[in-house]
Every structure is written in structure tokens, then in C-alpha cells.
């Protein structure tokens, strides 16, 4: 049973309580709408995260296989010598986007058109090209997963916070207001009944003279 | 007749808190709205395609999404498509509406959802499952608008 709010039993207090109740219901409505949107986005992000993780693991396993074949073909030292001077810069654009009040990071791997392969194409085999191509795919998948994972965490935190507000409104604020309004209404009805009984009694006394 | 006391006419701290909570929520949820929309053709030419939001932050578009949009509409329509597209959430929780200026949005949404949609009173109505699908395809090119009608 929700607690009663301590107020003076007056009509003005009743009006004030009714106003408070309508305001609380409006807040609850918007918070609930926000919660439903956040939940929808959260579920979508969770699904995407699982998919992205699976994709990344697949890509990594393919990459390791291709790389071990390339290492076997060229020899570790020769391959290291070939790759040591081939560091390519990759650019990631980072920004923010807003989902129902939650700021979500947005990452995108920028491709400048040329592949990240700056080793000597003459001295190396197609196995290395294949590994390089797979590593590019891996990099893309890592960036995508980073964005999704962070979004997932942020959305979960916001859902928790919003849920607390919704629960507070639904189970504490609004029921207390409703109970107090009911109590005041009953009190006023009781007062009316007492008043009527008193008037009847006075009428009888006056009639007896 | 006695005048009502100042306490009676003034808002109580409790009501003030609720009012602040309401306006705060509306402000927070609509903080990501763009100050102005940009055309797709303009965004495609920008190095870092973005718009400025109401709260002063920047909303970055993904180039891959813009390229996808450019691939499904022609050059003339690219000049007429304002981005980000606004998804309005109204009083009815089961559906949302995409605010559209012309028929370009209609074409984009139809192609993205793979079904025909119609624009009525500058709104394209979509249901929640379709909305999820749309948001999956257009993560950065769509933005939610919480209409004041929700709390009316």
C-alpha cells in the first residue's frame, strides 16, 4: 500500500495534488517513450554486436591462416624484412550521434582509395597480398565492433537510469498521489455526510422548539 | 473577500521539480536535433559530413550511408533530400512518422523497406518493426524527434 503524502485536508491541496498527478503522468509518458526507443536501439545494437564479433573472429581466423601460409612460403625473416618498412597510415573518423538523448560514438575507417600495401610486389607472392587484403577487412571489422560495443554499454547505462525514473514514477510518485487524492476525496465526502447529519439534527431540535 | 496567499499561487517545490523533470527530459531527448538540415548532394562533397545540433554538438554522418543513399536515388533527387531525416514519435506508441518535404523521402523509405509507403500530410507512417529496420540501415542519417504532442 503506498504511503499517504502529508497534506492539510483542504480543497486547495486537492487541486494542487491533482495538478501534480497530471504533471507526473506526463513525465512518465515521455520517459516511457524514451525507454521503449532506447530498448529498441539496445536490442538492435546487441544483435549487431554479436554479428560484428562473429564476423571479426571469422576474418581473424582467415587472416591467421593466410599469414601462416605466407610466412611458410617466404620464411619469417624474409617476410619481416619485406614488411618492416611498409607501415601505412589509416584514418579513422570519430564523431558523435545522438539517440534519444544518449551520445553514441560513431567511428568510420576512411579509405583513401589506395590499398594499404606498400611492400615490394615483385619480391612477394600473392599469399601476402591475400593476407594484406584480409587484414584490411579485419581493421574495418575492429572499428565497427568498437563503435557497437561502446554504444551497447552507453545504451545499457542509460536504460538503467531511465528505468529507475520510470519505476519511481510508476510505483512511488503516482500511486502516492492517487492514494492521497482518494483519501482527501473520501475525507470531504465524510465531512459532507457529517454536515448533513448535523443539519438534520438541528432541524429536529428547532422543530421541537 | 480575502486574497489567496502567495504560497497558494506559487508552485510548490514538488511541482517545480516535476516541471523541471518534464522540460529537462524534452530538452535531453531533443538535444540531438539538427539546427538545420543539409542536402545529400552537399554532404557528399564534404570531407567530414556533419550537421550542428541544437545543443551545439556535431552529428557526424557515415560516408558509407551517404553513398548508399546516393546509389538509390538520382542526382536531381540528391539535391532535394534533406538530411538527417526526422523520425517523429507521437502519442501513438506503436507507430512513428517520418517527416518529409517531398516524394524523395518516400522513394528512399520505400527502397529501404522494400515496400511501398505513402506520404500523407507531410508524414510517412511506419510501424515499430519497420522503424527498427530503417534505423539499422540509416543509423546516422535519421534522428528521433520527440513531439510535444506526446505530453499534450
B144 and chain A in contact, CB less than 8 A: yes
Grid cell locating B86: 526526422
Residue A2: inside a domain: no
Predicted local confidence at residue B2, as pLDDT: 42
B85: cis peptide before it, omega within 30°? no
Predicted local confidence at residue B152, as pLDDT: 47
Predicted local confidence at residue A137, as pLDDT: 87
From the candidates B2, B3, B5, B14, which should be mutated to test the interface with A, based on the most A CB atoms within 10 A?
Answer: B14
- Mean pLDDT taken over chain A: 86
| CATH code of the domain in which A185 resides | 1.10.287.3240
> What is the distance between the alpha carbons of residues A36 and B70, in angstroms, rounded to a whole number?
31
Nearest CB partner across the interface for B29, out of A34, A36, A95: A34
Q: Which of A19-23, A157-161, A199-203, B13-17 has the lowest mean pLDDT?
A: B13-17
Provide ipTM, 2 decimals. 0.79
Grid cell locating B123: 508524414
Predicted local confidence at residue A117, as pLDDT: 63
Whole-Å CA distances, B62 to A92, A187, B66, B111 = 11, 62, 7, 19
Predicted local confidence at residue B7, as pLDDT: 45
Q: What is the pTM of this model?
A: 0.81
> What is the distance between the alpha carbons of residues A34 and B43, in angstroms, rounded to a whole number?
29
Report helix, strand or coil for A5: coil
What residue in A sits closest to B84 (Cα-Cα)? A97
Domains of chain A: total: 1
Residue A3: inside a domain: no
Q: Which of A22-31, A85-94, B59-68, B127-136 has the lowest mean pLDDT?
A: A85-94
- What are the mean pLDDT values of chain B's consecutive 10-residue runs (152 residues total)? 45 68 76 87 89 88 90 88 86 76 84 85 85 88 77 48
Residue A134: inside a domain: yes
Percent of chain A with pLDDT over 70: 91
Grid cell locating B17: 521539480
Residue A146: inside a domain: yes
B128 and chain A in contact, CB less than 8 A: yes
From the candidates A52, A95, A107, A162, which should be mutated to test the interface with B, based on the most B CB atoms within 10 A?
Answer: A95
> Which stretches of chain A sit within 8 Å of chain B by CB?
12, 16, 19-20, 23-24, 26-27, 29-34, 36-37, 40-41, 44, 48, 93-101, 103, 106, 108, 110
Query: Do residues B84 and B54 make contact, with C-beta atoms less than 8 angstroms apart?
Result: no
Predicted local confidence at residue A95, as pLDDT: 87
In tens, the pLDDT along A127-137 reads: 778 888 888 88
Domain containing A19: what range? Answer: 11-208
- Cell 521503449 maps to which residue? A36
Size of interface A-B (CB pairs under 8 A): 94
Report helix, strand or coil for A170: helix
Asked if A27 lies within 8 A of B60 by C-beta distance, the reply is: no
Q: Which residue has the higher pLDDT, A32 or B5?
A: A32
What is the 3-class SS of chain B, one letter each residue?
CCCCCHHHHCCCHHHHHHHHHHHHHHHHHCCCCECCCEEHHHHHHCCCCEEEECCCCEEECCHHHHHHHHHHCCHHHHCCCEECEEEEECCCCCEEEEECCCHHHHHHHHHHHCCCCCEECCEEEEEHHHHHHHHHHCCCCEEEEECHHHHC
Query: Do residues A169 and A177 make contact, with C-beta atoms less than 8 angstroms apart?
Result: no
Predicted local confidence at residue B28, as pLDDT: 80
Predicted local confidence at residue B149, as pLDDT: 61
Nearest CB partner across the interface for B64, out of A31, A100, A108: A108
Amino acid at each position: 500500500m503506498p504511503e499517504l503524502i502529508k497534506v492539510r485536508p483542504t480543497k486547495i491541496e486537492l487541486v494542487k495534488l491533482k495538478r501534480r498527478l497530471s504533471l507526473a503522468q506526463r513525465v512518465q509518458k515521455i520517459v516511457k517513450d524514451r525507454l521503449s526507443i532506447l530498448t529498441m536501439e539496445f536490442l538492435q545494437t546487441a544483435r549487431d554486436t554479436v554479428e560484428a564479433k562473429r564476423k571479426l573472429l571469422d576474418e581473424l581466423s582467415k587472416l591467421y591462416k593466410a599469414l601462416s601460409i605466407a610466412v611458410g612460403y617466404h620464411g619469417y625473416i624474409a617476410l619481416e624484412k619485406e614488411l618492416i618498412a611498409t607501415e601505412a597510415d589509416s584514418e579513422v573518423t570519430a564523431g558523435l550521434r545522438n539517440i534519444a538523448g544518449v551520445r553514441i560514438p560513431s567511428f568510420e575507417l576512411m579509405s583513401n582509395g589506395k590499398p594499404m600495401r606498400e611492400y615490394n610486389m615483385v619480391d612477394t607472392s600473392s599469399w601476402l597480398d591475400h593476407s594484406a587484403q584480409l587484414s584490411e577487412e579485419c581493421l574495418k571489422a575492429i572499428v565497427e565492433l568498437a563503435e557497437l560495443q561502446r554504444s551497447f554499454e552507453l545504451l545499457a547505462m542509460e536504460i538503467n537510469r531511465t528505468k529507475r525514473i520510470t519505476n519511481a514514477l510508476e510505483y512511488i510518485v503516482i500511486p502516492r498521489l492517487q492514494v492521497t487524492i482518494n483519501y482527501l476525496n473520501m475525507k470531504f465526502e465524510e465531512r459532507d455526510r457529517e454536515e448533513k447529519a448535523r443539519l438534520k439534527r438541528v432541524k429536529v431540535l428547532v422543530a421541537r422548539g | 473577500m480575502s486574497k489567496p496567499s502567495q504560497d497558494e499561487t506559487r508552485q510548490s517545490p514538488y511541482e517545480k521539480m516535476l516541471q523541471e523533470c518534464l522540460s529537462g527530459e524534452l530538452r535531453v531527448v531533443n538535444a540531438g536535433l539538427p539546427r538545420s538540415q543539409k542536402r545529400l548532394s552537399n554532404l557528399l562533397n564534404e570531407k567530414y559530413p556533419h550537421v550542428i545540433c541544437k545543443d551545439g554538438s556535431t552529428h557526424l554522418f557515415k560516408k558509407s550511408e551517404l553513398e548508399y543513399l546516393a546509389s538509390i536515388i538520382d542526382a536531381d533527387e540528391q539535391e532535394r533530400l534533406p538530411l538527417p531525416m526526422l523520425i517523429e514519435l507521437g502519442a501513438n506508441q506503436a507507430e512513428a512518422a517520418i517527416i518529409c518535404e517531398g516524394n524523395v523521402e518516400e522513394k528512399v523509405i520505400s527502397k529501404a523497406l522494400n515496400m511501398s509507403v505513402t506520404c500523407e500530410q507531410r508524414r510517412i507512417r511506419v510501424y515499430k518493426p519497420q522503424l527498427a529496420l530503417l534505423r539499422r540501415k540509416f543509423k546516422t542519417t535519421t534522428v528521433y524527434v520527440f513531439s510535444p504532442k506526446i505530453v499534450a
